[in-house]
Each structure stands twice: as C-alpha cells, then as structure tokens.
Amino acid sequence: MSFPSQYIFVQLVLPLPSIMGLAIANDKSPSSPSLSSSSEISNLTYGFAVIFLIWYFVVLSLAYLGVVEIFRKFNHSITDIATPPSSSSSSDLGSVEGVTIIRPLKGIDAQVESCLESSFVQYYPTSKLEVLFCVEDPKDPVIPIVETLIDKYPNIDARLMIGDPNNPDHYGPNPKINNLAKGFVAAKHDIIWVMDSNVWASNGTLLRSVHALHHSLDNGRQTYDRRTGQGKPVKVVHHLPLAVSLKSSQLLMGPSWWSNIGSKLDEVFLKTSHAKFYVGFDRWAVAPCVNGKSNLYRRSDIDMAVQHIGRGQMPSVDGESGDLSKDAAYYGSTKGYGIRYFSKFIGEDNMIAIALWDIGGRTGLTGDCVIQPLGNRNSSIKDYILRRSRWLRVRKYMVLAATILEPTTESIVAGIYGTFAVSVLFFQQKFSISWLFFHFIVWYLTDYLQFALLLKYSAAEDSRIMNSSNYIRPFFTEPDYNRFFDLELLLHSPRWSRFNKSGFTRQCFRVLVWSFYWFMREILAFPIWVYAMVGTTIDWRGRPFIIKSDLTAEEM
C-alpha cells in the first residue's frame, strides 16, 4: 500500500457517518417503512431491540478491541517490534534462560523445509538453544529433510527423535501429544516452545517470547489482574496464526485458481475475522483463547497444572483409568509427564491453556505472527468447509456457549440483528437498509485494511536482528507476495486489466479479487456453523473421533 494504513483508514472510514446521515435522512421519507411514534413499538419488540443492541455493542467492542490492538502492536510502521533492549548486542544475551524447541512432524507439508529452518535461525545464544524433532514413523518422508537441516546447522543442538513402531507412544487419541511427549521428557531446558511443523516464525520471535514469559508481558505491556490490582503471571506465550495461499504458478502441480480456492478462504479468514477476535479476546483476558500452532511455556508449569487437576486424588496405575482426576495425579507426579495427560483431548491447546489459567496464569502475545504456507493439497471449497466444521465441532464440546454465539460475531448475522436494534431504538423504523449498508461498508473496510496490514508486517523483524544474520527469509513471507494477484489469475483477468499499465487499475483488480474471496468467506460462515452443530463425528487426519461429555476424545 502506498500510504500508511492509518491514513487510509481515516480517509475512508471517518467520512462515512456524514454519508450515512444523508442516507438515513432519505430513509425517513414518507415512503419508507417507519414507525410514526415510539408508542407503536410493542414492549416485546422494544425488549428484543434492547437485548440485541447490548450484544451488538459487545461484539463490536470485542472486534474493534482486536482491530485497534493489531493496528497498534502488529503494525511495525508506527512502532518498533517489542524486542528486549538486551538484543542490541549478542554479548548481552548470556543471561537468558535456555529453551527447547519441539516440533512434532508427520508427512511433508507445503514449504516444510523453510518452516523447520526458522527454528535454527532464531536470534538466541546457541548454547541456550535445543531443537527436537519428533516423528512417529521411522519411514516418514520428512526425516531426510530434517537430517539435511541438522547437518546444515552443526552449531545448533538439534536431534531427531523417532518413535518405536513396535511399541508406539500412545497415551490417548491425540496423535500430536503422543508424538511430542518423548520430547518433553528429553528436553534439556524447562522452557518449551512447541511449534507445528507447518508454520514459520521470524528470527526474533523466541527472544521476545522468553522476555514476555519472564516479565509477564502481553504485547509489550505489563499484565493486570482486575481482581487483585496487580500483574498476573503469563504462563503461555502464543503467536497470531496466519496463513498464506501459495501462488498456483509456484505450486508443484499448478492447479487452477478455482481448485485452490480453499486455501485462499483460509488466508482471508485467518487475517480478518479470526485475527481480530483472537487478539481482542487475548486483550480482554477474561478466559484463555489459544491456538496451538505456536506456544511457549514452562514444562514445570505444565506438570504443576496437571498436579492441580489431580489434587487430593490417589494416582491411577497407568494414567489410563478413565478417571480424569486420578489420571492427572498419575501424570503430574513425574517430571515431564504432565503433557501426556492432554493426549485424552482433541483440543489440547485449549485444555492446556485452561489448566495453566486455573493455576493463576494468563496468556500473552508478543506482536509476532506464525505463518503457515498453504499449498494445493486439501485446498478445495469442500476441504475448507470440512476443516472449519471440524474445529467448530471440537469447540462445540469444549466451549459450548461461545460456539453457539459464534454466528453473532460474523458480519452478516451481526448486521441483521444490529440493524434491527438500531432501527427500532434510534430511527423509529422496522429495518433501516441504510444502516445495514453502513454496517457492511465499515466491516468490509476494516477487514481489508487489517488484511493489508498483516500481509505487510506479519513477517517484519527488528533491523538489529535482521542485520545480525545472512539468513534470507522465504519468498512466501515477503510483504508483497500474493495479494491475490498471481500470474495465472492475470491470464484469466479482463483484457483491460491485463494490458493497462496503470498501477491504479491493477490495484483495483486486486481489491476486486480479494473482495470476491471475502464475500464468499462471509456467506459460507453461517451454513458451515449449522453443518458443524448438527454433526457429532470429528474426522482428523483420516480418523473419526467423538468427544464425550467429559471433553475427552474417543476413536471410533
């Protein structure tokens, strides 16, 4: 974008109230369906309008709490990345605590080598860094890639841990926990950074995360507990999960842009709706909201949290009795075993965050993002719908109330009940089309500007850290990559946009393409929610599960 995003936001959004004033005035013409007086509003209608207005205000407040936080803390054009002062000199890093990075692996994901390499190039003392790669299958095709990286960085203490196929680690139905459990026991350091194999992180992410964990910071500010009036210790440092849809011309098999639409919908979702509510909920800090793509915490805190769950109970014999409290007492009694307790749950990230929250901790962000490159595998519309519905079903059992209310946070549903409330209470109308239009315009512009900002700064790094290494970040993290305007899309574009040399024309076409995916994502949101709510089976990596009343999962 040629202008700072704040300037564009002011120029586009601030004039809208005056525009709406004219539109609303037109709505009050004699032909409009208005109510002649407030007395014509029934008590029931008025009551519903009040309830809807309150909830509309809550949803918008939470959404724009996240938007403002993203523009303030993830916009590195107006603020330096919250890198600790000690990073200005590598000689000052000797006092930092050691960290073990654990990366559970299964198969080859898009750009997996670049994603895994980001663990080796973290701006952190090599004597304080350990990287463990955990694999279940000795024949997993990702193993040669890991071995190549270990040979490439001999100065990093890195190991590949392969499971025994004759005696596999199995503590519950969650394959991720079963896989990385061996890494928790073998880790040399208490601070553990668990990263999925398919995400990339910038060089300074680890340093900022350790700093946030030590000083209980959330996006660079001291945490605060409203009940005690004091800071609340950060027990989980997490990072904003984003995705980037790889250009079809750079995919191995080069599918058409239509067959790759699912990954583009994922990218739009993660950089718009999910991002603002994820960051907003973390800022609100009334309950944990953590995605498991990239989490940093202490192994001792995990053990302590599991001990807390099993307090006062006699430990079970093997941790698999089915009694959650007794099994927690068993796993919490041995160093490094606490993580195994969470293999009973599909949504282990949420359950770990809740357990750490229950021992007095909270979560913290660092202004960093982790980026998942999305290739041509499982990238159709059907794949997108199945992914979204799968995790909605998991959340249905984990946090039922929040999942039931989730459609009310989407632009279409929020626009309908919000417009009804505003129309009845303020405009004396049954339903103001002008307000609905205003609602969508502001929501759309906000999402577009937020998307553009995250596209530009999601992989940004402190210049002091970037200049300390010869590492060249992968192409998919470049700020101008994709923008929903690749070569193949250009070949299918109208002739006027293909040959017009005007940068403005090309930018307009980019906006049109992005708008297509944005509208499709918004339209699909409610049908996907309905489909998820009526179903009970969760299909994960080709295996069906059901979630029982105690939130544990059972393979079918």
Percent of the chain exceeding pLDDT 90 equals 64
Does residue 555 have a pLDDT over 50? yes
200, 477 in Cβ contact below 8 A? yes
pLDDT at 89 over 60: no
- What are the angstrom distances between the C-alpha of 51 and each of 54, 57, 407, 427, 504? 5, 10, 16, 17, 44
Measured in degrees and rounded to the nearest 5, phi and psi for residue 465 equal -80, -40
The two structure tokens encoding residue 29:
């013409």
141-145, 344-348, 454-458, range with greatest mean pLDDT: 141-145
- Report the distance separating Cα 376 and Cα 383, nearest Å: 11
Active site residues: 349
- What is the per-residue pLDDT across 221-279, written as a single tens digit (0 to 9) for each? 999 877 777 789 999 999 999 999 987 644 434 445 566 889 999 999 999 999 999 99
The half-sphere exposure of 1 on its side-chain side, counting CA atoms within 13 A, is 19
- pLDDT at 82 > cutoff 60: no
* Averaged pLDDT for residues 293-317: 96
- Alpha helices (runs of H) in 368-469, residue ranges in sequence order: 381-398, 400-405, 411-422, 433-457, 463-466
Looking at per-residue pLDDT, the higher value among 412 and 21 belongs to 412
- Angle between the N-to-C axes of helices 433-457 and 43-73, in degrees from 0 to 180, rounded to the nearest 10: 20
Q: What is the pLDDT of residue 378?
A: 75
Which of 41-45, 394-398, 449-453, 538-542 tops mean pLDDT? Answer: 449-453
For 13-67, the pLDDT digits (tens) are: 434 443 344 344 444 444 444 444 444 778 899 999 999 999 999 999 999 999 9
Per-residue pLDDT band for 468 (boundaries 50, 70, 90) equals confident
Could you give phi then psi for residue 372, rounded to 5 degrees? -105, 115
Please give the pLDDT value at position 258. Answer: 65
- Residue 344 pLDDT greater than 70, yes or no: yes
At 177, which helix (H) or strand (E)?
helix 175-186
User: Per-residue pLDDT tens for 119-144?
Assistant: 999 999 999 999 999 999 999 999 99
Q: What is the pLDDT of residue 52?
A: 98
Question: pLDDT value at position 504?
Answer: 63
pTM: 0.88
Confidence of residue 549 (pLDDT cuts 50, 70, 90): confident
Whether 503 has a pLDDT exceeding 80, the answer reads: no
Q: For 479-507, what is the mean pLDDT?
A: 55
Which region among 187-201, 440-454, 462-476 has the lowest average model confidence (pLDDT)?
A: 462-476
Topology at the third CATH level for domain 94-397: Spore Coat Polysaccharide Biosynthesis Protein SpsA; Chain A (3.90.550)
Query: Would you say residue 505 has pLDDT above 90?
Result: no
